[in-house]
Amino acid sequence: MILTLRSFFLGRLLREKILMIAFALGVAIFWFSSWSGRVGKFWSAQRHTTSDLKTQALWLNNRGAIERAGAAATAQLNQADTLDSNKLVAAVNGLATDAGLKFQIGAPADESLGQFAVHTIPLTMSGVAWEALLPFYVNLQRRAPYITIESMGVLAAPGDPKNLNVAMKISSVEVVHSAP
């Protein structure tokens, strides 16, 4: 087989030999670039997986300490003071109304985390004066750790830089049942 190919190659004109070599080099370069891309993806996935495994091992090695810290934090929460999504909406509504704010509360989102449930609501306010927003913010912070502000964006109101447009994501934690 190799002798047949060798005799075929040597029987060609010089320009045909050069074209055959160029074609073979082109195929080799194309194959190598494809192969190197696959090898790069493999090494990237391998590094990512190794990093994930190290992180998981760290969490698993610290499982006892994490569970003790969680139990201690749960023990400090008064289950009667935790809020479900309806109580969260009512509490935020009351605090905003007491501060004299014009606001809109979006639909609550609930996430169950075993013995805890986290309830989140979006709150938007348009054209709010800083003097009215500050007491609301302070009163909301006094309700921590039962009510917290996850995120807050404040922008100057268009056309009236003395007033603010505020977007908040407010969440509450609810103890669904006590730890065993």
**Using an 8 Å Cβ cutoff, are 167 and 124 in contact?**
yes
On average, the pLDDT of the chain sits at 89
Assign 145 to helix, strand or coil.
Answer: coil
Residue 45 has pLDDT above 90, yes or no: yes
pLDDT tens figures, 64-74: 998 888 778 77
Q: Where are the alpha helices (DSSP H) in the chain?
A: 2-10, 14-61, 63-76, 85-98, 130-142
CATH of 78-175 among 3.40.50.620, 3.30.70.60, 3.40.50.1000, 3.30.160.270:
3.30.70.60
pLDDT of residue 77: 75
pTM of the predicted model as reported, rounded to 2 decimal places: 0.59
- What ranges do the domains of the chain cover? 2-56, 78-175
Phi, psi of 121 (to 5 degrees): -130, 145
**Using an 8 Å Cβ cutoff, are 115 and 174 in contact?**
no
pLDDT tens figures, 121-141: 999 999 999 998 999 999 999
What is the pLDDT confidence band of residue 75, given thresholds at 50, 70 and 90? confident
What is the pLDDT confidence band of residue 61, given thresholds at 50, 70 and 90? very high
